[in-house]
């Protein structure tokens, strides 16, 4: 039996076995996990990152400055934090925010009520493996902290490529593992011990953040993800490291 998060990766360490689930059940497991923490997801992101997550999203959206008016698809949009930043940075931009967890979108809609960008953000509950849109439609496609939760990343990348316009840009903001020998053990300890405990206190769901820590630990190496982007058809693929390498922006052009 193949287990999540990524069938191409080595088996998970024993310390993670208690939260492994069959790959065919991953999609529903991820949906339930995020639904359970949706009410405090944004708060925890800011708390656990010491507010640096806002800078990460700002840096990502700046990479779409070449497309100030065209429509953008924000996949795995969650509570639409990145969608709001995309709309804020470009006053005529329309953002289509798609996620398969309805609870996350509902939490985001509440925050949109008093946001001046509200009329230009369109929540869509859907699956990234079959994006309900015509091809060559969007000038940009973004995914923030969601790629590692996908079941079939090559298929999803192919869908992202399909819906982008020629010369359109894919931006993937995702956690990565630092390589600095001094910083790496500190970050690893924080990721697997401190973060789940803080989350357990705040949302009474330590398991959810144990899974999130595991999904970061077992995610593809940067070069592996860049190779998958190339296989999907993207060119000029590159990685931009942020905050000592704990987060990366992956860029690809159709």
Q: Is 66 annotated as contributing to ligand binding?
A: no
The closest of 54, 33, 98, 139 to 108, measured between CA atoms, is: 98
Q: Is 168 annotated as contributing to ligand binding?
A: no
Q: Is 115 annotated as contributing to ligand binding?
A: no
Contact 202, 44 (CB under 8 A): yes
Contact 172, 143 (CB under 8 A): yes
Q: Is 128 annotated as contributing to ligand binding?
A: yes
Contact 96, 71 (CB under 8 A): yes
Query: Which residues participate in the annotated binding site?
Result: 79, 99, 127-128
Query: Which residues participate in the annotated binding site for S-adenosyl-L-methionine?
Result: 79, 99, 127-128
């Amino acid at each position: 039996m193949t287990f999540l998060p990524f069938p191409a990766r080595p088996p998970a360490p024993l310390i993670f076995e208690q939260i492994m689930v069959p790959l065919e059940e991953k999609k529903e497991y991820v949906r339930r996990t995020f639904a359970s923490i949706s009410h405090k997801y944004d708060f925890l992101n800011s708390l656990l990152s010491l507010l640096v997550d806002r800078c990460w999203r700002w840096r990502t959206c700046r990479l779409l400055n070449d497309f100030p008016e065209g429509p953008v698809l924000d996949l795995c949009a969650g509570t639409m934090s990145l969608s709001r930043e995309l709309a804020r940075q470009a006053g005529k931009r329309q953002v289509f925010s798609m996620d398969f967890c309805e609870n996350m979108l509902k939490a985001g809609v509440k925050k949109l009520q008093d946001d001046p960008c509200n009329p230009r953000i369109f929540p869509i509950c859907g699956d990234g493996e079959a994006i309900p849109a015509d091809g060559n439609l969007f000038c940009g496609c973004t995914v923030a902290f969601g790629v590692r939760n996908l079941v079939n990343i090559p298929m999803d990348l192919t869908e992202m490529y399909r819906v982008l316009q020629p010369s359109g840009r894919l931006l993937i903001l995702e956690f990565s593992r630092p390589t600095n020998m001094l910083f790496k053990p500190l970050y690893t300890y924080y990721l697997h011990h401190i973060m789940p405990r803080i989350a357990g206190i705040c949302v009474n769901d330590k398991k959810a953040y144990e899974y999130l820590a595991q999904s970061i630990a077992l995610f593809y190496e940067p070069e592996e993800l860049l190779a998958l982007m190339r296989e999907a058809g993207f060119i000029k693929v590159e990685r931009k490291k942020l905050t000592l390498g704990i987060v990366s922006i992956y860029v690809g052009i159709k």
